[in-house]
Amino acid sequence: NAGVTQTPKFRILKIGQSMTLQCTQDMNHNYMYWYRQDPGMGLKLIYYSVGAGITDKGEVPNGYNVSRSTTEDFPLRLELAAPSQTSVYFCASSYRERTDTQYFGPGTRLTVL
């Protein structure tokens, strides 16, 4: 099992550009999450999904979009990148039966200039 994988590892964007952060898990987990981590702020939930076709907003959803067409994939879309979106982004997943334990990917470091 590769667990939770994220691509790319690093990316630099210009203001106004768009991109998609990829997240894939091979553990057949129902629940998937996107967090952003800013220095001194901990992790904040952006969006989450309880299964294919179902997504919901987290604490900081503005400026982001998600989709969940398969159990394995949960991409995060930035449409008009802003400097405030400079952060490290983590994807996580969990079993429906054990949603209390989340497994995190290695993260994507995004810089918007």
Contact region with another protein (CB under 8 A), list: 13-21, 36-44, 60-68, 76-84? 36-44
Q: How many CA atoms lie within 13 A of 64 on its CB side?
A: 27
Sign of the CA dihedral running 38, 30, 69, 58: negative
1 binds another protein (CB under 8 A): no
Q: How far is CA 64 from CA 16, 56, 69, 84, in A?
A: 13, 12, 17, 12
101 binds another protein (CB under 8 A): yes
104 binds another protein (CB under 8 A): yes
As a whole number of Å, the CA-based R_g of the chain is 13
Contact region with another protein (CB under 8 A), list: 19-27, 38-46, 68-76, 77-85? 38-46
- For the segment 41-100, give every residue that binds another protein (CB under 8 A): 41-45, 48, 50, 58-59, 90, 92, 94, 99-100
Collapsing DSSP to helix, strand or coil, 83 comes out as helix
Residues that bind another protein (CB under 8 A): 4, 31, 33, 40-45, 48, 50, 58-59, 90, 92, 94, 99-107
